[in-house]
C-alpha cells in the first residue's frame, strides 16, 4: 500500500490529484488504480476530486498533458543550441531517456494505455506526439545544423523519429530493461535521419 504523499507548499488541488494518480499508477498501473487511491494519496476528498475531474480518465488526460509539458521543457533545457549539432542530438535524447528512466511505469502507461481510453485521451496523446515532433523540428532549425548543411527536418520525418523512439522505450520497459541503454542506437538513427535532409 502506498502512503499518502506530503503536500508541497503552493501546490494546487488539481496538481495534487494529478500527482497522486501518477503515484498510484507507478504502484498498481492505470487499470487497477481507482479514484479512492487518488484521493487517499492526495489527502483530499472525493468531492474535491469531482470538482476538478469527471472521472479517473479525465484526471489521466490532465496527467498526460502535465507530464508531456514537463518532459519537453526538460529536453529543451538540456539542448545547448550553440553546441555542435551531434551534441545537441545526444543531449536531447539523453534528457528524454532520463525522463523515461525516472518514471518507467508512467512512460509505458502513456504509450500503451492512452490510445485505448477514448477519443479525448487519444487527442491528448496525439498532441503530445506532435509537441515532441515540433521540438525536434525546432532544434534541427538552428545555425549549427545549417553550418553542417542540414535541416530543418520535415515534420513527417520528426514524427517517425518520435514514434520510433517511443515504441523502443516502451519495449525496453516491458522487458525490464533501462531506457538509458538505448542512447547510442537512438542517437545513431537520429543522426542518420537528420543527415538525410540537407538544407535547401
pLDDT in the model for residue 127 = 86
Which residues have C-beta within 8 Å of that of residue 157, sequence separation ≥ 6? 193, 196, 197
The predicted pLDDT at position 182 comes to: 92
Query: CA–CA distance from 18 to each of 13, 66, 82, 147 (Å)?
Result: 9, 8, 36, 43
Closest among 58, 169, 34, 55 to 105, alpha carbons compared: 169
Give pLDDT, residue 82. Answer: 95
Distance of CA 35 to the CA centre of its chain: 23
Report the distance separating Cα 4 and Cα 199, nearest Å: 53
> Domains along the chain?
1-53 (1.10.10), 63-195 (1.10.357.10)
Which pLDDT score is estimated for 11? 64
pLDDT reported for residue 174: 87
Residue 17 burial (CB count, 10 A): 25
% pLDDT > 70, the chain: 94
Is the model's pLDDT at 51 over the cut of 80? Answer: yes
Averaged confidence pLDDT in the chain: 88
What is the Cα Rg of the chain in Å?
18
pLDDT at position 42 is: 96
Q: What pLDDT sits at residue 128?
A: 85
pLDDT of residue 45: 95
Q: What is the pLDDT of residue 107?
A: 83
Q: pLDDT tens digits, residue range 103-115?
A: 888 888 888 887 7
Q: Which residue has the higher pLDDT, 3 or 195?
A: 195
* Terminal-to-terminal C-alpha distance of the chain: 58
Identify whether the C-beta of residue 53 lies closer than 8 Å to the C-beta of residue 17. Answer: yes
- Average pLDDT score over residue span 12-41: 94
What's the average model confidence in pLDDT over 183-193?
A: 95
pLDDT of residue 8 exceeding 70: no
Contacts 24+ apart (CB under 8 A), 34-39: 35/59, 37/2
pLDDT score, position 20? 96
- Grid coordinates belonging to 189: 538513427
Instruction: Please name which of 9, 28, 145 lies closest in space to residue 84, comparing C-alpha atoms.
Output: 145
| pLDDT number for residue 4 | 39
- Burial state string for 47-62 with b = 16 or more CB within 10 A and e = fewer than 16: ebbeebbeebbbbbbb
Tell whether the model's pLDDT for residue 39 goes beyond 50.
yes
Amino acid at each position: 500500500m502506498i502512503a499518502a504523499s506530503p503536500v508541497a507548499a503552493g501546490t494546487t488541488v488539481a496538481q495534487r490529484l494529478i500527482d497522486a494518480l501518477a503515484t498510484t499508477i507507478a504502484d498498481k498501473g492505470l487499470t487497477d488504480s481507482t479514484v479512492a487511491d487518488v484521493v487517499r494519496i492526495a489527502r483530499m476528498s472525493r468531492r474535491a476530486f469531482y470538482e476538478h475531474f469527471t472521472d479517473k480518465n479525465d484526471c489521466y488526460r490532465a496527467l498526460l498533458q502535465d507530464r508531456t509539458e514537463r518532459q519537453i521543457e526538460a529536453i529543451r533545457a538540456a539542448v545547448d543550441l550553440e553546441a555542435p549539432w551531434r551534441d545537441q542530438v545526444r543531449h536531447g535524447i539523453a534528457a528524454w531517456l532520463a525522463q523515461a528512466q525516472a518514471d518507467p511505469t508512467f512512460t509505458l502507461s502513456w504509450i500503451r494505455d492512452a490510445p485505448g481510453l477514448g477519443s479525448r485521451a487519444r487527442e491528448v496523446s496525439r498532441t503530445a506526439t506532435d509537441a515532441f515532433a515540433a521540438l525536434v523540428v525546432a532544434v534541427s532549425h538552428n545555425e549549427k545544423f545549417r553550418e553542417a548543411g542540414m535541416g530543418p527536418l520535415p515534420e513527417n520525418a520528426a514524427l517517425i523519429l518520435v514514434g520510433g523512439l517511443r515504441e523502443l522505450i516502451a519495449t525496453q520497459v516491458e522487458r525490464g530493461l533501462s531506457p538509458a541503454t538505448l542512447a547510442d542506437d537512438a542517437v545513431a538513427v537520429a543522426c542518420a535521419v537528420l543527415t538525410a535532409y540537407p538544407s535547401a
